[in-house]
Each structure stands twice: as structure tokens, then as C-alpha cells.
Structure 1
């Protein structure tokens, strides 16, 4: 009888131990799965990133398109991560991503000022820092310094706008760049700083304004997927490898060609 009881106790211990190991492995697996979920943010910045609806927000990747967006999607298709992509206002997304594990933001200009704030995957596309004037403006610029006494429309969180602020220019900041073509038309600003492709597109689509004058291109910057410092470098390496693979097979060039 004692032998039977002892055997039963040993069997129970073995079952309990196996159950504990199984639960531990399951918990570990769940942790790994959770750590592989990526949260990727962007802004409405056509033609690089745009919501299908034309609104300034979107809740999943099917509602977001654009040159950079399609490049990021091509990269993500080559890795096995659970990805949630959302479109939000740039200043909100820029602050939200920093300090949070497995969070990223595109398309982000990689500058000296931002270099240590993120881990970087790219390059994706490049932006031309351009000063636009209203269609009927007679403003001409030879150098950036020629704009020192002029009112320049920009928006908060934008790398071009902040650069001009840091250089002592008179920048009228808004929460979004979409209103700035109207500021030019109403005479509330003399110039608008934005990307060379974005400016005319936003002016026409949002306000029906055509004929903006690009008076000066003063810088060109590559754009990247910026990943939070709290994210594993292994994930960043996976993403970079995937992007390099998409580039080497011609996918990125094909994406650019679709928007030309």
C-alpha cells in the first residue's frame, strides 16, 4: 500500500513538474510573441505617406499609401512581425514613439540633431527642402539668408521648420502643414517651407491653388524609418536586411516609378 501511495505521489510530482514547465514555456512564448509586435506610425504627407480617405489619420495599413509607405510595406512583407500601422499628426506621433519599445515612425528625416534619438532603417526616399512663394509673388532668393526678413509658414515637429527656427528665421508655426498654401494666398506669410513634391500637391488638393513658385531649394535629406532606442537592435537589423533585400531586387525603384 505504501509503495502504491509513493508511486502515485511520484507520478503526481512528475505531472505537476511537466505542467509547470509547459506553463513556463507557454508564458515565455507569449512574451516573445508580444515582443515581436511592432507599432509603426506615419503622417499624412503626400505623396510620401497619404491616407486613402484624404484625412489626416488612419487606423491600419490598408488605409495608408504613398511612396515611403509602400517601401515600408515591402520591407515588412519580408519579416515575420505582427505590425500595427497608424497615421496620426506628426508632432503627436514623433513624441509618442520615443521611449516606447517596438515603436517606429516614418518617413523621418535623418539629421545630426536627431541622430542619437532613434535607431535608423533606410534610406527610403529623399526630400528637397524648398521655399515656395505664392503664384503672384515677385520674391526671388539667391541664398537662404535672403529670406531672413520674410515670414515663413511652417509647422510644429517638422524638421525643415525647426531648422529655420534654430537659424533665427521668422517661422509661423501651425499644427499641420496643410493650411500653409492658404496662408500664402491670403498674404499671411511670404514663403512656405516644405518638400518640393509635397508643396504643389497639397496646395492643389487641399485648396485648389496651382502655380506655386519654388524660389529656393536649400537642402536635401534622406528619409528613414526611425525606431525607438528601446527596441531590440536585432529587430532593427532584421528590418534593415529586409529593406536592403527589397532594394536589391528592384522593388523600391518600381515603387518610385509608380508615382512618377
Structure 2
């Protein structure tokens, strides 16, 4: 084999090695891309367009959304953020590597289903009645024989069903104010901030009656259990830093004005 052929072989091998290393780097980068989902749930998550779906982070706003973005801005991960129906997103994220979901209520029942980054904010589990309703509750048990509007995949609705309450389930929560007004449900279970906002924004209805707050839980960014724990640690550190810097408090104040 002459010297020219040897030189050509060396060049070819070097080129092949470069391609292999580039492929490894690309694979590693792709593995660190995050796919994050949320739902329309103002004031915590909302779309700029007002629609119940969005395809990128620039079209998504809200308390939790901005908190998650504040954490992501402090880490070097590429990510995609989308807004979808909660029941779809909740099922889609589980068992998919690098897939996350917010704002997810962290409960004992869900503890082992996800890896958790947070807390972000908290929700008050509230039963609302129509403005002209005379329903009065002293405890959750008082609602046992009433029809309660909820929606699929919602932690509050699932809790009530598991405890034997009569819950009318929908795909999303934005129709439940109308159910109250039409007499199709006696009560609506939702967050204390979300209920009045959705009622006014979607249907122009004001004066919903919060008849019972029966629980409060923190909300988190939840990732699938087969996501690398190092990613979870990076995101938790970033969120803690954003909180220490006062960014999360500023976000909450911005939406409370």
C-alpha cells in the first residue's frame, strides 16, 4: 500500500470518526429536549389567543406558565411547550421520556406517578353554586346527594368520584358554568380563582357562590418517571434560584393586580 493510499485512509477514518462523534452529540442533545404540556386553566395557564390550545411557549401565559418559563430560562435545555386538553396531556406525558405537565396538583395518590419540580402555586378545592342558588354546605358530606360538575383527569373531580360523589364529567371545565346555570348540575368543583374567571370570560356570568373550600394542594411541574433525575434536579435548582431572586413573587403579583 503506497503512502498516498495510506493518507487517504487516514483522512477517511478521521472523517468517519467526526461523523460518529457528531451523531453522538446530536443524540445527546435530542435526549435533553423537553416536551412540556399544560392546559387552559386561567389565571394559572392560559393562551394568548383565548383558545383552549396553543403550539409554542410564546402563545402560553399565566402564573404557572411564567414560573416554568423562569426556571427554563436558567437551564440549557431545548424545549417545546404546548397547550392541550388536560385528559389528553395527562395520559400522553406518562411513560414518555423528558415529557412534563403543569400545573399538576401533587397529591398522595399521584406521588409515585411523576417526578416533581416545584411548588409553583397552590389550588383551593372549591365547590361553587349558581348565583341564585340557596345551597349551603357545612361539610363535604353535605354534597353527597348533589350533582357536581367536573372534568376528566382533574384531581378534584377524581377525588370526589373515588369517594362516592356524583360527578358529571366533561372533557374540559369551561362548560361547567353553563351546566350550573341550566340546572344540569347543583355544584361545580374547581379552583377558587379559576371558577369566577372562567365563568366571566367564557359566559359573561358573575356572582358564582363559593359554598365550600374543602382542600388545598400545591401545584408542580410533573415529569414522567423515566425522565433522567439529573434533569429534574437541574430544573428544581433553577426554580429555587428564580424564587430566591424574587422572580416568582413578581409573577404572582403581576397577575393579582
TM-score, normalization: structure 1? Answer: 0.97
User: What SS is found at the alignment partner of 1:122?
Assistant: strand
What are the equivalent positions in structure 2 for 1:71-86 lying under 5 Å apart?
71-86=67-82
User: What SS is found at the alignment partner of 1:123?
Assistant: strand
- Which runs of 5 or more residues in structure 2 are unaligned? none
Give the counterpart of 2:116 among 115, 120, 140: 120
Number of positions where the alignment pairs a residue of Structure 1 with one of Structure 2: 256
Is residue 2:71 matched to residue 1:69?
Answer: no
Q: CA separation in 2, counterparts of 1:7 and 1:105?
A: 59
Is residue 2:84 matched to residue 1:88?
Answer: yes
Q: What's the CA shift string for 1:61-87, capped at 9, x where partnerless?
A: 111100000000101110111111100
What are the equivalent positions in structure 2 for 1:122-201 lying under 5 Å apart?
122-201=118-197
- Which runs of 5 or more residues in structure 1 are unaligned? none
Matching residue of 2:216: 220
Q: CA separation in 2, counterparts of 1:20 and 1:204?
A: 62
Matching residue of 2:99: 103
**How far apart are residue 152 of structure 1 and its match?**
0.4
Q: CA separation in 1, counterparts of 2:6 and 2:47?
A: 62
Q: CA separation in 2, counterparts of 1:233 and 1:9?
A: 49
Q: CA separation in 2, counterparts of 1:19 and 1:207?
A: 63
Is residue 2:50 matched to residue 1:54?
Answer: yes
Q: CA separation in 1, counterparts of 2:205 and 2:32?
A: 44
**How far apart are residue 175 of structure 1 and its match?**
0.7
User: What SS is found at the alignment partner of 2:174?
Assistant: helix
Runs of 4+ in 1 over 3 A off after TM superposition: none
Q: What's the CA shift string for 1:217-259, capped at 9, x where partnerless?
A: 0000000001011211111111111000000000000000001
Q: What's the CA shift string for 1:129-187, capped at 9, x where partnerless?
A: 00001101111111100100110000000000000000000001011100101111111
Q: CA separation in 2, counterparts of 1:52 and 1:259?
A: 14
Q: CA RMSD in A?
A: 0.9
User: What SS is found at the alignment partner of 1:177?
Assistant: coil
Q: What's the CA shift string for 1:23-74, capped at 9, x where partnerless?
A: 1111111101111211110000000000011110001111110000000010
TM-score, normalization: structure 2? Answer: 0.98
Matching residue of 1:7: 3
Matching residue of 1:247: 243
